[in-house]
A and B are shown apart, each in its own frame.
Chain A
Amino acid sequence: MQNNLSFHQSSVSLEIVGLPDYSNDENNDQISIISQWKLTIIDKPLIEGKFEHLLPIMNAFYIYSNLLIKNDIPLYESKLIDIKAENLHIHTIVLKSSKTNVKPLILKIGNSLLSDIINCFDQLNESPKVRIKKTDLHNIPKKFRFGLNNKVKFFNFIMPPFIAICSLILLSYSLIYFYNPNQNNEKKELINPE
Chain B
Amino acid sequence: MTIWKLRNNNPLRKSYITNNITLSEFDALIRITVEMSKYLYPYIREIMKSKENVEENSVVWNDFNKRFIELIKERFNIDSIRVKKLLNQAENDEIIVKSLLILSFCISNQGYQKLKNFLYDF
Chain A residues within CB distance 8 Å of chain B: 10, 65, 68-70, 88-90, 110-112, 114-116, 118-119, 122-123, 125-126, 137-138, 140-144, 155, 158-179
Contacts and interface: CB of A to CB of B under 8 A. Distances in A.
Chain B, interface residues (CB within 8 Å), range: 35 or more
Nearest to A155: B20
Contacts of A179: 40, 43
A115 B101 contact: yes
B48 A111 contact: yes
Contacts, number: 155
B117 interface: yes
Contact of B9 (A125, A162, A164): A162
27 contacts: A65-B101, A65-B105, A68-B98, A88-B94, A89-B51, A89-B52, A111-B51, A115-B45, A119-B105, A119-B108, A125-B110, A137-B110, A140-B118, A142-B120, A158-B26, A161-B120, A162-B21, A163-B10, A163-B12, A165-B119, A166-B10, A167-B86, A170-B68, A170-B71, A170-B72, A178-B64, A179-B43
A178 B114 CA distance: 26
A69 B75 contact: no
Given A159-B11, A165-B29, A173 B122 contact: no
A173 B26 contact: no
A188 B33 CA distance: 26
A126 B20 CA distance: 35
* A interface SS class: helix
Interface in B66-107: 67-68, 71-72, 75, 86, 93-94, 96-105, 107
Given A162-B10, A172-B37, A177 B104 contact: no
A70 B40 CA distance: 23
